[in-house]
Amino acid sequence: MNNTLVLEKIAEALVATGKGILAADESPGTCDKRFDEHGIPKTEEMRRKWRGLLFGTPAVQTALSGVILYDETLRQKADDGTLFPELLKSRGITPGIKVDQGLEPFEGSSEEKVTKGLGALATRLAEYYALGARFAKWRAVITIGTGIPTERCIRENARRLAEYARLCQIAGIVPILEPEVLLDGTHTLARSEEVLTQTLKIVFEEVEKAEVNPKGLILKSSMALPGKESSRQSSGQAGKTATPEEVAKATLSAFTQAVPKTVAGIVFLSGGQTPMEATVRLNEIVVQAKALKAPWPLTFSYSRALQAPVIAEWKGQDGNVASAQAIFKKRVEETALASQGKFTA
């Protein structure tokens, strides 16, 4: 099989019906922040145990197509000495790798950011391929506020996403492009839809310019949601008062206007929604997408919405591993049902 076909097959498998992706690519710093909330010691060994708990959950492979890892995790081993990428592969789960290197201010702005990590990226991708990674993730962050995002900042992020994607495809790695429109802010659902549409249009303009094959890439998107601090958020819960129907309609409107039909699939981040919100909204998006005969497979690539209740159960205690794994399995299965429009609360 030539390189193009191999990439398309990997991408297709990642968004196969009834399956989705676990994002377990938090940097050690972010992982430690989550550990802090539960009094878990912030050590490399505890991070290894945590990832081992997730990846070793019995039968979870029926609903997980891939896992995104961080550099540290890609090199770590399960309790039996198997490297994590090998463990995942042996369970039929494709290992992926986060390759961006975080954010830097855009042209000195304190509000807008661009993602860095293009330096030596081709070399890093070759090493990640050798370590077993077959897909990658690059996250750009778009903030909604007064006068922002600017078209220039979106464009710069999009250029970098397209260049990352180009280098990934050359390396035989499927790129996931994640331009995350943040939930933070006081904006309305309509404003979120507008920014999501603009962002995706610019991203795919740059993807086309860079001659990246859309069939060998996956878009990772936020849902269109009213800002966390918008006036409709009196309870303080993320996106609470926008109905799932409104969220789905706005999100699919953005995709229909901006995402090429040939893109292999679209996966969602959870972005600070509660696990149930992220599940119910995904379900409704898929229900509406089917009615519209939307061209892309749609599924999840959640971190917090899959992991939050699991880490709360585990608390770093060996004695809680089995009960935490049971919660993880249920979370993944519920979310996989939602990715087929079959979830009922």
> Considering the complex, what minimum distance in angstroms separates the CB of residue 4 from ligand 13P?
26
Among 51, 113, 159, 304, binds ligand 13P (CB under 6 A): 304
Does 178 engage in binding with ligand 13P (CB under 6 A)? yes
Output 176 or 264, the one with its CB closest to ligand 13P. Answer: 176
Does 302 engage in binding with ligand 13P (CB under 6 A)? yes
Output 145 or 272, the one with its CB closest to ligand 13P. Answer: 272
> Considering the complex, what minimum distance in angstroms separates the CB of residue 23 from ligand 13P?
3
Q: Please give the residues from 123 up to 162 whose contact with ligand 13P meets the rule CB under 6 A.
A: 139
- Point out which span in 6-14, 27-35, 269-277, 322-330 binds ligand 13P (CB under 6 A): 269-277
3-state secondary structure the chain: CCHHHHHHHHHHHHCCCCCEEEECCCCHHHHHHHHHCCCCCCCHHHHHHHHHHHHCCCCHHHCEEEEEECHHHHCCECCCCCEHHHHHHHCCCEEEEECCCCEEECCCCCCCEEECCCCCHHHHHHHHHHCCCCEEEEEEEECCECCECCHHHHHHHHHHHHHHHHHHHHCCCEEEEEEEECCCCCCCHHHHHHHHHHHHHHHHHHHHHCCCCHHHCEEEECCCCCCCCCCCCCCCCCCCCCCHHHHHHHHHHHHHHHCCCCCCEEEECCCCCCHHHHHHHHHHHHHHHHHHCCCCCEEEEECHHHHHHHHHHHCCCHHHHHHHHHHHHHHHHHHHHHCCCCCCC
Spatial distance between the Cα atoms of 244 and 95, rounded to a whole number of angstroms? 31
Write down the residue that tokens 């938090």 correspond to.
26
Catalytic residue selected from 19, 113, 137, 220? 220
Q: Are strands 103-105 and 113-115 parallel, antiparallel or unpaired?
A: antiparallel
The contact mask relative to ligand 13P for 87-126 (x = CB under 6 A, - = no) is ----------------------------------------
Does 270 engage in binding with ligand 13P (CB under 6 A)? yes
> Considering the complex, what minimum distance in angstroms separates the CB of residue 33 from ligand 13P?
12
Among 23, 60, 266, 280, binds ligand 13P (CB under 6 A): 23
> Considering the complex, what minimum distance in angstroms separates the CB of residue 133 from ligand 13P?
15
Does 284 engage in binding with ligand 13P (CB under 6 A)? no
Does 271 engage in binding with ligand 13P (CB under 6 A)? yes
- Point out which span in 11-19, 53-61, 190-198, 301-309 binds ligand 13P (CB under 6 A): 301-309
Contact call for residues 100 and 137 (beta carbons, < 8 A):
yes
> Considering the complex, what minimum distance in angstroms separates the CB of residue 334 from ligand 13P?
15
Does 305 engage in binding with ligand 13P (CB under 6 A)? yes
Give ∠ CA 185-191-192 in degrees, rounded to 5. 70
Does residue 220 carry a catalytic annotation?
A: yes
> Considering the complex, what minimum distance in angstroms separates the CB of residue 121 from ligand 13P?
18
Catalytic residue selected from 8, 178, 206, 277? 178
Does 239 engage in binding with ligand 13P (CB under 6 A)? no
- Point out which span in 120-128, 239-247, 285-293, 303-311 binds ligand 13P (CB under 6 A): 303-311
Does residue 178 carry a catalytic annotation?
A: yes
67: amino acid identity, one letter: V
Give residues in contact with ligand 13P (CB under 6 A): 23, 139, 178, 269-271, 302-305
Give the residue numbers annotated as catalytic, written as ranges.
178, 220
